Structure 1
Amino acid sequence: MSTNSNFDPAELAKFSDLAHRWWDKESEFRPLHQINPLRLTWIDKIIPLKGLSVLDVGCGGGILADAMARKGAKVMGIDLAEKALKVAQLHALEAQTEGVQYQKISAEALAAEQPGTFDVVTCMEMLEHVPDPAAVVKACYALVKPGGHVFFSTINRNAKSFLFAIVGAEYVLNILPRGTHEYAKLIKPSELAAYCRAAGFDLQKTSGMQYNPLTRHYWLDDNTSVNYMFATTKPAA
């Protein structure tokens, strides 16, 4: 797959249509705002971000990228959804966030231009939206420096995740817009682990993310049956 073809036009259109609502914390993106402190703290505990060069792949409106910059990292956010990137840029100006920039480019294309550039790469809630997630994982490996850290998050593919992440979140609780996720595109931890091993990563840590719809409370634990995250490293040698 070429560096410019690993995207789904329907997925880009879906998120572009909602771009103006990225920073509305009561909008369709409320879950991202709610889980962002959990993701940020988890990453920052594994590798303190202050002073590091960080790439956020599939940054959307910049929720995580902006937060990492506020931790003192020098952050580049990349995406192919132009409207979302404009929203991210506008928010950075309005919030006076220093140390963050955004670019419309794919991970594969950037990997060809700037291999081994970043101390940390994050790719969160993005792999389940592209035709070839393994190619994105491989590009992340190319982009990070030897000894660097790469973080992934996505959704498991099983009966429980279908019930909770799609039926529950999109059709019953209306936490997410209907059609946000396609069951066939969800990724089992074993599959993501295989993509990581094939790229050359060492898998360091996994974490699951849970949600209580009654309290609207999210938390991290070891249960990866629905939402989960991987922390990986690129060997130094």
Structure 2
Amino acid sequence: MTASTINQAELAKFVAMAEQWWDPKGKFKPLHKFNPVRLAYIREHLLAHFGRDATAMRPFEGLTIVDVGCGGGLLCEPLTRLGATVTGIDAAERNITIAKLHAEKSGLDIDYQATTSEALVATGASYDLVLNMEVVEHVDNVLLYMKSCADLVRPGGLTLTATLNRTARAYALAVFGAERVLRWLPKGTHDWNKFITPDEIKALLTRNGLKVTAETGVVFHPLADEWRKSPDMAINYMIMAERPAA
């Protein structure tokens, strides 16, 4: 086991595309399409868990959120607009530079740091919500990565993990289809062997003191050109967990 979660080869892939983070028609187009269903799920669970007013303009005022592997800040910015105090971390300094510039242009105060989850844990930081979104399939030392993400969840807080299932359908659609046929993603973006099953994620969450509270699949509807929640977790899925209050 390595002492770091950084996979240099995976990091290089995203550094090479960093300039396109905020181009909805560029190489991160799939994430722009994916963002509405991710945000809706986060909003739904934060409102319910923390008893917030769904009609408020900034319902997450006073809540702290860290987005681990934040990239260009596609989730950090809307969550900041909803009132949360947001920290975005990424191992790629170029991603953080892009995120900072875009936040500045947008007039948003977001704490962006070029660091890793394990390094952030060492500072003693903890948050009401820890986001682990489409990152775990790109890291080294999954055990250390999931433990560090869990360690960042304060008592009574939540964590959301989103990733790809290790199934034949996931390979056919998320790797072969998305990268080679539809060309939604650059070839080589994903390695099917690094995909993780829901049961594996839930076991890692549980072993690190968290309780799984919700799970959902996410599927693409081509006629509507949008992603939606689904009971089908065979390809993309999200799992919510909480750290019991002390």
Normalising by the smaller structure, the TM-score range is over 0.9
1:2-41 map, 5 Å: 5-41=4-40
Mapped contact 2:214–2:241 kept (Cα < 8 A): yes
Deviation at residue 214 of structure 1 after TM alignment: 4.7
The answer as to whether partners of 2:2 and 2:141 remain within 8 angstroms in 1 is: no
Q: CA deviation at 1:166?
A: 0.3
Give the letter for the 1:230 counterpart.
I
Q: Does 1:220 align with 2:224?
A: no
Whole-angstrom distance in 2 between the partners of 1:45 and 1:51: 17
Q: How far off its partner does 1:51 sit? A: 2.5
Measure how far apart 1:215 and its partner are.
4.1
- 1:126 is matched with which residue? 135
1:169 to 162, 175, 178: 178
Distance 1:30 1:134 in 2: 30
SS in 2 for 1:63: coil
1:140 corresponds to which residue?
A: 149
Contact 2:37/2:229 (8 A) holds in 1: yes
The within-5 A match list for 1:3-152 is 5-48=4-47, 49-98=60-109, 100-115=110-125, 117-152=126-161
Identity %: 40
Whether contact under 8 Å (2:90, 2:116) holds in the other structure is yes
SS in 2 for 1:47: helix
Give the residue type in structure 2 aligned to 1:218: W
Counterpart residue number, 1:234: 243
Distance 1:2 1:183, change over 3 A: closer
Partner of 2:57: none
* Partner-residue secondary structure (3-state), 1:157: coil
Partner of 1:50, secondary structure, is coil
* SS in structure 2 at match of 1:178: coil
* Aligned residue identity for 2:120: L
Give the Cα separation in 2 of the matches to 1:50 and 1:192: 30
5+ residue gaps, structure 1 = none
1:209 and 2:218 matched = yes
Deviations 1:36-55 (A, max 9, x none): 12111111111133320111
Distance (Å, rounded) in 2 between the aligned partners of 1:147 and 1:87: 32
TM-score (norm 1): 0.95
